[in-house]
Amino acid sequence: QVAAGSGLKVGEKVSRQTLQEAANRLAATGLFAKVRYRYSSQGTNVALQFQVADAPTVPVTFDNFPWFTNEQLDQIIHQSVGLFDGTAPEHGSYDDAIAAAIQKKLSSLGIPGRVEHRVMEQLVGTGLELQFRLVGPTINVGSVEFTDPLANHDERIRERLQDVIGKPFSRYYINLFVTEQVRPIYLSQGYLSVKFGPPKARFSGNPDQPQLGKVLVIVPVTRG
Protein backbone atom coordinates (compact mmCIF):
# COMPACT_ATOMS: atom_id res chain seq x y z
CA GLN A 1 0.00 0.00 0.00
CA VAL A 2 2.90 2.34 0.71
CA ALA A 3 4.48 1.42 -2.62
CA ALA A 4 1.22 2.15 -4.40
CA GLY A 5 1.22 5.58 -2.78
CA SER A 6 4.44 6.39 -4.61
CA GLY A 7 2.56 6.22 -7.91
CA LEU A 8 5.13 3.91 -9.45
CA LYS A 9 4.28 0.62 -11.14
CA VAL A 10 6.54 -2.30 -11.93
CA GLY A 11 7.41 -2.33 -15.61
CA GLU A 12 7.05 1.37 -16.36
CA LYS A 13 9.92 3.51 -17.61
CA VAL A 14 11.52 5.82 -15.03
CA SER A 15 14.11 8.55 -14.78
CA ARG A 16 15.82 10.32 -11.89
CA GLN A 17 13.06 12.92 -12.00
CA THR A 18 10.39 10.20 -11.90
CA LEU A 19 11.95 8.63 -8.80
CA GLN A 20 12.22 11.99 -7.04
CA GLU A 21 8.60 12.79 -7.83
CA ALA A 22 7.58 9.44 -6.35
CA ALA A 23 9.50 10.22 -3.16
CA ASN A 24 7.86 13.65 -3.04
CA ARG A 25 4.41 12.05 -3.27
CA LEU A 26 5.15 9.83 -0.31
CA ALA A 27 6.45 12.78 1.69
CA ALA A 28 3.37 14.83 0.82
CA THR A 29 1.07 12.27 2.48
CA GLY A 30 2.28 13.44 5.89
CA LEU A 31 2.71 9.81 6.99
CA PHE A 32 6.49 9.99 6.96
CA ALA A 33 8.88 12.33 8.71
CA LYS A 34 11.64 11.33 6.30
CA VAL A 35 11.63 9.79 2.82
CA ARG A 36 14.81 8.75 1.04
CA TYR A 37 15.43 6.35 -1.80
CA ARG A 38 18.23 4.48 -3.46
CA TYR A 39 18.37 2.33 -6.56
CA SER A 40 20.62 -0.09 -8.34
CA SER A 41 20.73 -1.09 -11.98
CA GLN A 42 19.96 -4.65 -12.98
CA GLY A 43 20.51 -4.74 -16.72
CA THR A 44 17.75 -2.64 -18.24
CA ASN A 45 15.80 -2.68 -14.95
CA VAL A 46 16.11 -0.68 -11.74
CA ALA A 47 15.67 -2.03 -8.20
CA LEU A 48 14.25 0.80 -6.11
CA GLN A 49 14.21 0.97 -2.31
CA PHE A 50 12.49 3.66 -0.23
CA GLN A 51 13.82 4.37 3.24
CA VAL A 52 11.16 6.03 5.39
CA ALA A 53 10.59 7.08 9.00
CA ASP A 54 7.10 7.31 10.46
CA ALA A 55 5.74 10.77 11.23
CA PRO A 56 3.83 11.44 14.48
CA THR A 57 0.10 10.81 14.23
CA VAL A 58 -2.97 11.83 16.25
CA PRO A 59 -6.31 10.07 16.87
CA VAL A 60 -9.02 10.57 14.23
CA THR A 61 -12.55 11.50 15.34
CA PHE A 62 -15.80 11.95 13.40
CA ASP A 63 -18.17 14.72 14.41
CA ASN A 64 -21.51 15.01 12.62
CA PHE A 65 -22.05 11.88 10.53
CA PRO A 66 -25.19 10.34 12.11
CA TRP A 67 -25.63 8.05 9.09
CA PHE A 68 -22.65 5.94 10.17
CA THR A 69 -21.10 4.48 13.29
CA ASN A 70 -17.41 5.07 13.92
CA GLU A 71 -16.75 1.45 12.96
CA GLN A 72 -18.51 1.91 9.62
CA LEU A 73 -16.50 5.05 8.87
CA ASP A 74 -13.29 3.19 9.73
CA GLN A 75 -14.24 0.51 7.21
CA ILE A 76 -15.16 3.05 4.51
CA ILE A 77 -11.79 4.76 4.90
CA HIS A 78 -9.78 1.56 5.04
CA GLN A 79 -11.38 0.23 1.87
CA SER A 80 -10.54 3.40 -0.03
CA VAL A 81 -7.31 4.65 1.50
CA GLY A 82 -5.66 1.68 3.18
CA LEU A 83 -3.13 1.85 6.03
CA PHE A 84 -5.81 3.42 8.26
CA ASP A 85 -5.52 2.44 11.93
CA GLY A 86 -7.63 5.15 13.59
CA THR A 87 -4.85 7.74 13.53
CA ALA A 88 -3.48 10.14 10.93
CA PRO A 89 -0.82 12.86 10.61
CA GLU A 90 -1.84 16.39 11.49
CA HIS A 91 -1.34 17.57 7.91
CA GLY A 92 -0.81 16.13 4.45
CA SER A 93 -2.52 14.60 1.45
CA TYR A 94 -3.37 11.45 3.44
CA ASP A 95 -5.88 13.49 5.47
CA ASP A 96 -7.39 14.83 2.26
CA ALA A 97 -7.72 11.25 0.99
CA ILE A 98 -9.66 10.29 4.14
CA ALA A 99 -12.02 13.23 3.62
CA ALA A 100 -12.47 12.26 -0.03
CA ALA A 101 -13.39 8.68 0.94
CA ILE A 102 -16.12 9.90 3.30
CA GLN A 103 -17.28 12.46 0.72
CA LYS A 104 -17.63 9.75 -1.92
CA LYS A 105 -19.77 7.60 0.37
CA LEU A 106 -22.03 10.53 1.27
CA SER A 107 -22.46 11.43 -2.40
CA SER A 108 -23.49 7.85 -3.19
CA LEU A 109 -26.31 8.25 -0.65
CA GLY A 110 -27.39 11.61 -2.04
CA ILE A 111 -26.24 13.53 1.04
CA PRO A 112 -24.91 17.01 0.12
CA GLY A 113 -22.18 18.93 1.87
CA ARG A 114 -18.41 19.19 2.10
CA VAL A 115 -16.20 17.08 4.38
CA GLU A 116 -13.55 19.10 6.19
CA HIS A 117 -10.91 18.25 8.79
CA ARG A 118 -9.21 20.22 11.52
CA VAL A 119 -6.73 19.62 14.32
CA MET A 120 -8.04 20.38 17.81
CA GLU A 121 -7.47 19.66 21.50
CA GLN A 122 -8.84 16.38 22.86
CA LEU A 123 -11.81 16.70 25.21
CA VAL A 124 -10.55 14.04 27.60
CA GLY A 125 -6.87 13.64 28.29
CA THR A 126 -4.07 15.62 26.73
CA GLY A 127 -2.91 16.01 23.17
CA LEU A 128 -4.49 16.73 19.83
CA GLU A 129 -6.98 14.96 17.58
CA LEU A 130 -7.87 15.23 13.90
CA GLN A 131 -11.62 15.82 13.58
CA PHE A 132 -13.57 15.23 10.37
CA ARG A 133 -16.90 17.00 10.02
CA LEU A 134 -19.54 17.72 7.40
CA VAL A 135 -20.33 21.28 6.35
CA GLY A 136 -23.79 20.93 4.87
CA PRO A 137 -27.24 19.73 5.97
CA THR A 138 -28.18 20.19 9.61
CA ILE A 139 -29.59 17.13 11.39
CA ASN A 140 -31.05 18.05 14.77
CA VAL A 141 -31.13 15.95 17.93
CA GLY A 142 -34.65 14.77 18.73
CA SER A 143 -33.92 13.04 22.04
CA VAL A 144 -31.08 11.66 24.16
CA GLU A 145 -31.03 8.39 26.06
CA PHE A 146 -28.40 6.69 28.21
CA THR A 147 -27.87 2.97 28.67
CA ASP A 148 -27.74 3.41 32.46
CA PRO A 149 -30.86 4.31 34.52
CA LEU A 150 -28.95 6.72 36.76
CA ALA A 151 -28.33 9.13 33.88
CA ASN A 152 -31.82 8.60 32.44
CA HIS A 153 -33.62 9.48 35.67
CA ASP A 154 -31.39 12.10 37.30
CA GLU A 155 -33.32 15.38 37.34
CA ARG A 156 -30.23 17.55 37.01
CA ILE A 157 -29.19 15.75 33.83
CA ARG A 158 -32.72 15.80 32.39
CA GLU A 159 -32.95 19.56 32.91
CA ARG A 160 -29.65 20.22 31.15
CA LEU A 161 -30.54 17.99 28.15
CA GLN A 162 -32.21 21.04 26.63
CA ASP A 163 -28.68 22.24 25.88
CA VAL A 164 -28.46 19.38 23.36
CA ILE A 165 -32.00 18.54 22.23
CA GLY A 166 -33.10 20.55 19.20
CA LYS A 167 -29.51 21.48 18.41
CA PRO A 168 -27.50 20.17 15.41
CA PHE A 169 -26.15 16.66 15.91
CA SER A 170 -22.49 16.75 16.86
CA ARG A 171 -20.64 13.94 18.60
CA TYR A 172 -18.11 16.49 19.82
CA TYR A 173 -20.70 18.63 21.61
CA ILE A 174 -22.53 15.58 22.95
CA ASN A 175 -19.25 14.34 24.39
CA LEU A 176 -18.66 17.80 25.83
CA PHE A 177 -22.12 17.69 27.45
CA VAL A 178 -21.40 14.26 28.91
CA THR A 179 -18.01 15.40 30.25
CA GLU A 180 -19.31 18.59 31.86
CA GLN A 181 -22.85 17.62 32.93
CA VAL A 182 -23.16 13.83 33.24
CA ARG A 183 -19.78 12.62 34.42
CA PRO A 184 -19.76 14.83 37.57
CA ILE A 185 -23.07 13.25 38.68
CA TYR A 186 -21.52 9.79 38.61
CA LEU A 187 -18.35 10.96 40.36
CA SER A 188 -20.41 12.57 43.12
CA GLN A 189 -22.05 9.19 43.79
CA GLY A 190 -18.77 7.30 43.97
CA TYR A 191 -18.59 5.86 40.44
CA LEU A 192 -15.00 6.97 39.94
CA SER A 193 -14.34 4.54 37.07
CA VAL A 194 -17.41 5.42 35.00
CA LYS A 195 -16.88 5.20 31.26
CA PHE A 196 -18.92 6.67 28.40
CA GLY A 197 -18.88 5.17 24.92
CA PRO A 198 -19.14 7.02 21.59
CA PRO A 199 -22.65 8.48 21.08
CA LYS A 200 -24.77 6.41 18.68
CA ALA A 201 -27.41 7.93 16.40
CA ARG A 202 -30.70 6.44 15.21
CA PHE A 203 -32.96 8.21 12.78
CA SER A 204 -36.62 8.92 13.41
CA GLY A 205 -39.10 9.83 10.70
CA ASN A 206 -39.04 8.56 7.12
CA PRO A 207 -36.33 5.85 6.86
CA ASP A 208 -36.12 6.45 3.08
CA GLN A 209 -35.08 10.07 3.67
CA PRO A 210 -32.94 10.01 6.82
CA GLN A 211 -31.27 13.29 5.96
CA LEU A 212 -34.60 15.05 6.54
CA GLY A 213 -35.34 13.57 9.97
CA LYS A 214 -34.09 13.93 13.52
CA VAL A 215 -31.85 11.60 15.44
CA LEU A 216 -32.22 9.73 18.69
CA VAL A 217 -28.86 9.83 20.44
CA ILE A 218 -27.90 6.87 22.63
CA VAL A 219 -24.93 7.28 25.00
CA PRO A 220 -23.42 4.02 26.30
CA VAL A 221 -22.56 4.15 30.01
CA THR A 222 -20.54 1.68 32.10
CA ARG A 223 -20.65 2.58 35.79
CA GLY A 224 -17.51 0.70 36.79
Q: Read off the pLDDT of residues 168-203 as tens digits, 9 standing for 90 and up.
A: 999 999 999 999 999 999 999 999 999 999 999 998
Lowest mean pLDDT among 3-17, 63-77, 90-104, 188-202: 3-17
pLDDT for residue 34:
94
pLDDT for residue 179:
95
The residue that leads in pLDDT, 68 or 3, is 68
| pLDDT surpasses 70 at 207 | no
Long-range CB contacts (within 8 A, 24+) of 194-200 = 194/221, 194/222, 194/223, 194/224, 195/221, 195/222, 195/224, 196/220, 196/221, 196/222, 197/221, 197/222, 198/69, 198/70, 198/171, 199/171, 199/174, 199/175, 200/69
User: What's the average model confidence in pLDDT over 49-57?
Assistant: 94
pLDDT for residue 115:
97
pLDDT for residue 137:
82
User: What is the pTM assigned to this prediction?
Assistant: 0.85
Interstrand relation of 32-42 and 45-54 (parallel, antiparallel or unpaired) = antiparallel
| pLDDT surpasses 90 at 206 | no
| pLDDT surpasses 90 at 165 | yes
Percent of the chain past pLDDT 90, that is, above it, reads 82
